[in-house]
Structure 1
Amino acid sequence: MNLLIIEDEPELSRNISSYLLQSLYTCETAATFSTAKERLDSNQYDCIILDINLPGGSGLELLRQLKNKQQSDGVLIISAKNSLNDKVEGLELGADDYLVKPFHMAELSARVGAIIRRRAFEGNNILVLGLLTVDLVAKAARTDSGDLNLTRKEYELLVYFASNKNRVITKESIVDHLWESSVQMTDTYDFIYSHIKNLRKKLSDAGCPSYIKSVYGMGYKFSIG
């Protein structure tokens, strides 16, 4: 799951990123209005953690622009201002939740997870995908044969496929979603093939049919049918 943290306080931004990385999220950061706008114009995220007061502009304006483009990114506003007007305006503009500073990182992580589940998985914590069960809270996958020993990227890849079940996903989309924008791309995409190959093998060894299908010239599709 790919997150964007829009926060101008360096220490808080680092603390949020560090904590969420432990929960297997991929985190990008932006400290100013202009940097955040560049990120939002070129990428989509599972959830955006958005401060209202930013150098160069308002977080609420970024939210307004995001929703005007009808992007589906989840948004959690964080603000030191416990203002009812700001809270109402943010929610009316399309934010999913609002958290007042200071807050506990565990609560922030729980709210981010809830937003992602509501948007991608209809609020479910447990996904049943054929013979495969994915626990989004424990961040684990299992079959009747036992738990799958997945790496962080293999788990993220599996959840990304599950959130786009029966849709064709390009290699470019996988890179944009699961790796930070700073990753230097190559023409071969060998690292993508390696992760998919390893995930397929672990699913097969656990008794799952070939859920991840190659779509020639286009990418991949996760289908249990």
Structure 2
Amino acid sequence: MKILIVEDEKKLQDTLKHFLEQEKFVVECASDYESALEKIYAYDYECILLDIMLPGGSGLDILKELKKMRKKERVLILSAKDSIEDKVLGLEMGADDYLAKPFHLSELNARIKSVIRRHQTDGNKDVRIENLSLDPEKRTVFINENELILNRKEFDLLYYFVTNPERLMYKTALAESVWGDNIDQSDSLDFIYSQVKNLRKKLKDAGAGVTIKAVYGLGYKLSVCDPEQITE
């Protein structure tokens, strides 16, 4: 799950990034209005942590841009402003929740998971497709009643696929979803190929009712299938 932190206070930004990475999120950061818009235009996120007061513009204007773009990111406003008017305005403009500074990191974590869960799974904790069940909070996957053991990258990829079934996922988007701002620090596209191949084999061996199909030259998509007909 990938999160964008839009926060100009460097110390707080670093604290949030470190904490959320420890919680197994892929985290990207923006420190001002323009860089936040660039990232939002270019990439998709499960959740955006949005400060209202930003260099170069307002977080409320970013909410307006998200609405214009018809993007589905969940937005959690983080602001020192704690007036009823600010809360109401932010929520009316499309934010999903509002957390006033200062706050406890444990509460922030719970709020993030809550807004993501409501969006991705219509309020249900588990994501279910055919005989596959994925719990994004516990980071567990079951095929029927049997647990499927995945490494961290395999789980992140599978979660990205199951929340976008039958949708073509371009290789660069998959790499970005797993590495975030660190995408240039590895041979990510080759590694994506390796991880998808391993993940496909694990799904097949476990008798999953879904598989990951390659779309030549472009990327991959998760499709429902007859497990007996899955081929490499």
2:154 alignment partner, SS class: helix
Show CA shifts across 1:106-150 (max 9, x none): 221121112222222212211222222211221111234632221
Equivalent residue, structure 2, for 1:27 = 27
Unmatched runs of 5 consecutive residues or more in structure 2: 226-232
Percentage of pairs with the same residue: 45
Displacement after TM superposition at 1:54 (Å)? 1.6
- Which stretch shifts more, 137-146 or 165-174? 137-146
Partner of 1:124, secondary structure, is: coil
Alignment correspondent of 1:101 = 101
What is the match of residue 121 of structure 2? 121
State how far apart, in whole Å, the 1-side matches of 2:126 and 2:40 are: 30
* Contiguous gaps of at least 5 residues in structure 1: none
Are the structure 2 counterparts of residues 186 and 107 from structure 1 closer, same or farther at C-alpha, using a change threshold of 3 Å? closer
Identify if the C-alpha distance between structure 1 residues 123 and 145 changes in structure 2 by more than 3 Å, giving closer, same or farther.
Answer: closer
CA–CA distance in structure 2, aligned partners of residues 200 and 169 of structure 1? 15
Counterpart position of 2:157: 157
- Distance in 2, Cα, partners of 1:219 & 1:185: 21
**Structure 1 letter corresponding to 2:90:** G
CA contact (8 A) 1:7 1:50 kept: yes
Number of residue pairs the alignment of both structures matches = 225
Name the counterpart of 1:180.
Answer: 180
Preserved contact between residue 132 and residue 209 of structure 2 (Cα < 8 Å) = no
What residue in structure 1 maps to residue 197 of structure 2? 197
Match of 2:8 in 1: 8
TM superposition score normalised by structure 1 = 0.90
Distance of aligned partners of 1:188 and 1:156 in 2 relative to their CA distance in 1, 3 Å threshold = closer
Name the Cα RMSD after superposition: 2.1
Q: Equivalent residue for 2:46?
A: 46
- Partner Cα separation in structure 2 for residue 122 and residue 49 of structure 1: 21
What one-letter code is carried by the residue in structure 2 that aligns with 1:62? I
Residues 131 and 144 of structure 1 are in contact (CA less than 8 Å); yes or no, is this contact kept in structure 2? yes
